Structure 1
Amino acid sequence: MPLGKKFLAELFGTFWLVLGGCGSAVLAANFPYDNPGVNPLGLGFLGVSLAFGLTLLTMVYAIGHISGCHINPAVSFGLWAGGRFKSRELIPYIAAQVIGAVIAGGVIKLVASGRPGFVIEGANALATNGYGANSPGGYSFVAALVIELVLSMFFLLVILGATDRLAPSGFAGVPIGLSLTLIHLISIPVTNTSVNPARSTGVAVWVGGDAMAQLWLFWLAPIVGALIAGWVYSNLLSEKEARA
């Protein structure tokens, strides 16, 4: 597949992930906005978790055959570390993912701004990620670092296992999408859940301030966790005869 088509697939896929996941958090999680605790229409943590999982699940089948559906720089690094991805495609993939995420963040901001009284303020404005005072539950830097690293590592282990040539074919999107849902159920209170540097960047650039100041953690931890998973899977878990 030409790299240009892969680039577009990753851009569109990451756009959809951020629009569906972060968009649900911004536009629907706390609806109605004046008294979210009374009306059951708001999605809440469970709904947002499902939204992220569903966006990934749908994109796996929409663009998986084109680009592999990474739509996450950590996934690209993890697959590279596991010997599943070419080094020369890393930068184009990451560029596409970040561009798609930033465009989606802009669309979310534009739509949200159409509601009278909407302002970008608070700890997790526009579904940004953070720790300390910017953590939904007030969790510390260390807690944020650990949860993002560990969950990113296991996310990649699921991806590497589900897409292994010895795994049942045609079903990879299901465990991958469900694993992202589970990850959000665990970690939304801690960091508002990243495990995806592009997702974090896509909304942080529209908020600025602490969201940008803390963004480095949401690049470092997911990528380190993914690199660990790639090494672990390729060296300790995979069937050696199955590897080229």
Structure 2
Amino acid sequence: MSQVTVAPAPAEAAPPARTESSLAARLGAEAFGTFGLVLAIVGVALYNRFSNGSYVFPVAIAGGLGVAALVAAVGHVSGGHFNPAVTFGLTIVGRAKWRDLVPYWLAQVVGGTAAAALLFATIPDTLVKALSEKSTRSLFSGTANGWANHSPLSGLSSGQAQFSLTAALLAEIAVTAVFVGVIIGVTDKRAKASKVAPIAIGFALFAAIIVAGPITNASVNPARSTASAIFSTGNIFTFDGVAGQLWLFWVAPLVGAGIAALFYLAFAAPRQSVDGKPVSPVTEGAEAAEEKLEEAAADLHAKADELRDRVADDEVSDLADAAEPTVDTTEAKGDAPEGTDKPQA
């Protein structure tokens, strides 16, 4: 008997294992990214403000383009935070580890401070004298974040108009919440715009700087604020001068990031089903339909296998019948039928 064999279906290839960069590599990427971002923002704020036009727009362009390029360059290594507020928000929603929070912050502050130190060293003494500034620190203070008499509006209006602490606090919380919210949303695995995430993040930072620039010089980033405050007039620890206002530019961005993260967890995060599989409230109906289609496909596969087995059995039976000789079952009787002659010996 011949045997009919059915070739097994090819096994699906296993997805490639995801590798995570070492902590040292991630911290190096964060320091580099924050260095480049602060270099772009503070560098433009330092020198472009002496031009005839407003310097808020050039700073916003530098910040938006800078963060987009840096996220595209090293975002795959560290996540491309370059901002303690971003790290805080992503940690709350589970995209980063709590044990990496403080190391990330330190790397970001170190990178930003290095960029500010480099810019501070480039300021020529002749420029300080030409502008009748008291010191290089006084000149660099124009890049720092502040409110009241340290806000950009106060300088433009010769002190006649100022933003209060409350206005500065609300502005920084709002723009940081939107900025971090965009990052959390565009980097969601369900987002179709994930491939253009660096561009979206760049546009979000551009808009944040445009809005908050005239109010506080637009922080949105505690590392950027710290970098400028260290080389400005005043004292960070005694809350003196523009450097003494740094505390607000840590509190407000972190609060804004926390609001964005909690909003995401409450309304946009994937829900967990009984079996632990994430379920999105937006795509829950689609996933249910997909499950039904998978069940129907499984039934079709089972019926196809059953039909294939039947066909195989029939083929085996036909081959067996064809291999056996034909036998005449009619036996010759001893007496010939009546009316016929018996054969003669």
* TM-score for both structures, normalised by structure 1: 0.91
Identity %: 39
Aligned residues of 2:168 and 2:215 also touching (Cα < 8 A): yes
- Measured against aligned partners, the alpha-carbon deviations of 1:178-222 in whole angstroms (never above 9, x if no partner) come to 010001111111000001100000110011412221000000000
Which residue among 39, 43, 64 is the counterpart of 1:19?
Answer: 39
Question: Which deviates further from its counterpart, 113-122 or 217-226?
Answer: 113-122
Question: Which deviates further from its counterpart, 67-76 or 162-171?
Answer: 162-171
- Measured against aligned partners, the alpha-carbon deviations of 1:101-143 in whole angstroms (never above 9, x if no partner) come to 11111111111x2261324326x72510001111111211000
Aligned equivalent of 1:117: 127
- Displacement of 1:236: 1.2
Aligned residues of 1:49 and 1:181 also touching (Cα < 8 A): yes
Structure number with larger C-alpha Rg: 2
Structure 2 spans left out of the alignment, 5+ residues: 1-20, 129-135, 154-161, 235-240, 272-277, 281-345
- Displacement of 1:242: 5.5
Q: Which amino acid aligns with 1:238?
A: A
Q: Which amino acid aligns with 2:124?
A: G
Q: How does 1:231-242 map to 2 (within 5 A)?
A: 231-240=262-271, 241=278
- Displacement of 1:170: 1.4
Structure 1 spans left out of the alignment, 5+ residues: 38-42
Q: How does 1:49-198 map to 2 (within 5 A)?
A: 49-111=60-122, 113-114=123-124, 116-118=126-128, 119-121=136-138, 125-137=141-153, 138-168=162-192, 169-198=194-223
CA distance in 2, matches of 1:195, 1:98: 14
Which residue among 5, 17, 28 is the counterpart of 1:8?
Answer: 28
CA distance in 2, matches of 1:186, 1:80: 26
CA distance in 2, matches of 1:30, 1:233: 41
Secondary structure of the 1:29 match is helix
In the TM superposition, structure 1's runs of 4+ consecutive aligned residues that sit over 6 Å from their partners are none
Aligned residues of 2:141 and 2:231 also touching (Cα < 8 A): no
- Displacement of 1:174: 0.8
* TM-score for both structures, normalised by structure 2: 0.65
- Displacement of 1:44: 2.1
Q: Which structure carries more relative contact order (alpha carbon 8 Å, separation 6+)?
A: 1
- Measured against aligned partners, the alpha-carbon deviations of 1:152-176 in whole angstroms (never above 9, x if no partner) come to 1111110001100011231101111
Matched positions, count: 232
Aligned equivalent of 2:310: none
Between Structure 1 and Structure 2, the one with more helix by share is: 1
Cα RMSD of the aligned pairs, angstroms, is 1.6
